[in-house]
Amino acid sequence: MYGYGECNALESIVVANRGVHFDEREFNIHGSASLSRGGQHVIVHFLLLTFVIICVFDPADKILGAKVPVFVALWIATLLRMLLVDGRLHFAVAPTAYVATFVAIPVLSIVPTYFVGGSLPPEGLTLLKGYLLVSLVLVLIVNRVDLVPQLSAVLTVLACLAVAVFVAIHLNYSRVYDALQPLSYDFGLLYLGKRSFGNYEFLQIYFVTSPMLVIPIAYYFDRAMSEVNSTRKLVFSAVTAINIIGMFLGGTRNNILISVLTPALLWPFYARRRSISVLCGLGVIAILALLFAGYLKAFFDFSEAGNNIRLTTMQDYVRIFRDPATLMFGQGLGTYYDWSARGPFYISELTYMEIIRNFGLFGGLPMIALISLPLAHAVFLPTSRRDRVLAMAYFLYLVMSASNPMFFSSTGILILAILGANIFTRQNPRCKKAATTQ
């Protein structure tokens, strides 16, 4: 009959009428604790949003150099909040085991090189920071935060900037182009220039985090298709279109193809007759392939510089994996190799081949399984349509990562951590119950 607050109020009146002393000091103590918990919650949300903004707009950590300090502050705020709310530090077993395994594999790959060569791999510890970011899973679970909307909003700002830069350059090419060059050479955020595939040339507005735009495309596509109100549906459709355009303007093969394919691949999730929709979607893709056959031929021309480098690198991997020890145990994270196309370097563009080179089959296959968690969850376990749509977007990001070394960084791992945290939260009844009462 009465709500929780109403019951407490009635009980206080009854106690007062009975002449029992009311301890105002105790009330102040509990009130202060409640305010403290609320303040911690606000701080954690602020730090999470700040961290997402840094990862999207300062991926190389050269503008502010704040990525590590904010991440450490985020962990400190989370631990303090656990002590205030629960009075102790505790983490769920499954996500803790997931994070521990994800970090242990690269650590164990580094250790043997130290005992054999007397020193750690030159870049091993540097690359390890990307793997440590997966611990964000625990932060999000403890604070019961779904970070997909915030990430999508921040990335939408990135897409708007790409469109604005494109328009500004066409209005005043030389001045805007020269003004934005420091973002490329000094900060590694934006690359501008003419991109050509065969006889086709166009202006490239490539933000290095633009492949992440596949996530807001999927998120706002779902919002548009699920919305009943026509005005809100139109708004979400417009935001989806902005993200598609922003990703397309990146000008890389991955950006162009995935920005166009993503809506076509997501459409069947919302169709009543899914099999017919899939066939229609494949038909549309086939027609587009015929219409743009010249572009596609140029995209996949092996004589093109980028494709030739990747093909040559694949031949290097064939030679590397002829060594049984390397194939089974790997060379260790951060070890250099004298690549035929680029000389000595500690990483290549072929991400999944590089996983096997670093960790061998013993460590590489489990690592591939760990990064496939959102896909396995969407395929084998009951989940919402939104989660399946985001899993499809994540799959497309993995496809792009196959030929670009962008996954094991603050971009790919950030997406994995956000989706992974949502999975563990929904599979844990205690976390799910607590989240619904917040």
Q: What is the mean pLDDT of residues 306-318?
A: 85
Higher pLDDT, 50 or 64: 50
Q: Residue 323 above 70 pLDDT?
A: yes
Using one digit for the tens of pLDDT, what is the confidence trace for 152-168? 999 999 999 999 998 88
Q: How far apart are CA 182 and CA 62, in angstroms?
A: 11
In terms of Cβ atoms closer than 10 Å to its own Cβ (0-12, 13-18, 19+), residue 74 is buried
Q: What is the mean pLDDT of residues 342-349?
A: 88
Q: Distances in Å between the alpha carbon of 111 and those of 108, 134, 334, 359, 409?
A: 5, 20, 12, 12, 21
Q: Residue 23 above 70 pLDDT?
A: no
Q: Give percent above pLDDT 70 in the chain.
A: 77
Q: Residue 15 above 60 pLDDT?
A: no
Using one digit for the tens of pLDDT, what is the confidence trace for 192-229? 877 766 566 778 889 999 999 999 999 999 999 999 89
How does residue 65 score in pLDDT terms, banded at 50, 70 and 90?
Answer: confident
**pLDDT value at residue 249:** 92
Q: What is the mean pLDDT of residues 32-45?
A: 64
How does residue 381 score in pLDDT terms, banded at 50, 70 and 90?
Answer: confident
**pLDDT value at residue 177:** 74
Q: What is the 3-state secondary structure (H, E, C) of the chain?
A: CCCHHHHHHHHHHHHHHCCCCCCHHHHHHHHHHHHHHHHHHHHHHHHHHHHHHHHHHCCCCCCCCCHHHHHHHHHHHHHHHHHHHCCCCCCCHHHHHHHHHHHHHHHHHHHHHHHHHCCCCCCHHHHHHHHHHHHHHHHHHHHCCCCHHHHHHHHHHHHHHHHHHHHHHHHCHHHHHHHHHHHHHCCCCEEEEEEEECCEEEEEEEECCHHHHHHHHHHHHHHHHHCCCHHHHHHHHHHHHHHHHHHHCCCCHHHHHHHHHHHHHHHHHHCCCHHHHHHHHHHHHHHHHHHCHHHHHHHCCCCCHHHHHHHHHHHHHHHHCCCHHHHHHCCCCCCCEEECCCEEECCCCCHHHHHHHHHHHHHHHHHHHHHCHHHHHHHHCCCCHHHHHHHHHHHHHHHHHCCCCCCCCCCHHHHHHHHHHHHHHHHCHHHHHHHHCC
Q: Residue 4 above 60 pLDDT?
A: no
Higher pLDDT, 249 or 434: 249
**pLDDT value at residue 327:** 92
Q: Give percent above pLDDT 90 in the chain.
A: 45
Q: Residue 47 above 80 pLDDT?
A: yes
Q: What is the mean pLDDT of residues 302-325?
A: 83
**pLDDT value at residue 114:** 63
**pLDDT value at residue 309:** 82
**pLDDT value at residue 192:** 84
Rg (alpha carbons) of the chain, rounded to whole number: 25
Higher pLDDT, 81 or 376: 376
| Least confident window among 74-78, 278-282, 394-398 | 278-282
**pLDDT value at residue 87:** 77
How does residue 104 score in pLDDT terms, banded at 50, 70 and 90?
Answer: very high
Q: How far apart are CA 27 and CA 21, in angstroms?
A: 12
> Residue 142's closest CA among 44, 55, 32?
44
Higher pLDDT, 13 or 237: 237
Asked if residue 193 lies in contact with residue 204, where contact means CB atoms within 8 angstroms, the answer is: yes
| Least confident window among 73-77, 108-112, 156-160, 284-288 | 284-288
**pLDDT value at residue 195:** 74
Q: What is the mean pLDDT of residues 319-345?
A: 89
Q: Residue 433 above 50 pLDDT?
A: no
**pLDDT value at residue 186:** 72
How does residue 244 score in pLDDT terms, banded at 50, 70 and 90?
Answer: very high
How does residue 25 score in pLDDT terms, banded at 50, 70 and 90?
Answer: very low
**pLDDT value at residue 361:** 94
Q: What is the mean pLDDT of residues 288-294?
A: 60
**pLDDT value at residue 291:** 56
Give 50's contacts (C-beta < 8 A, 6+ positions apart): 70
> Residue 307's closest CA among 295, 299, 315?
299
Residue given tokens 């790409």 in the structure block: 162
Q: Residue 190 above 90 pLDDT?
A: no
Asked if residue 149 lies in contact with residue 362, where contact means CB atoms within 8 angstroms, the answer is: no
Q: What is the mean pLDDT of residues 118-137?
A: 82
Mean of the per-residue pLDDT values of the chain? 81
How does residue 246 score in pLDDT terms, banded at 50, 70 and 90?
Answer: very high
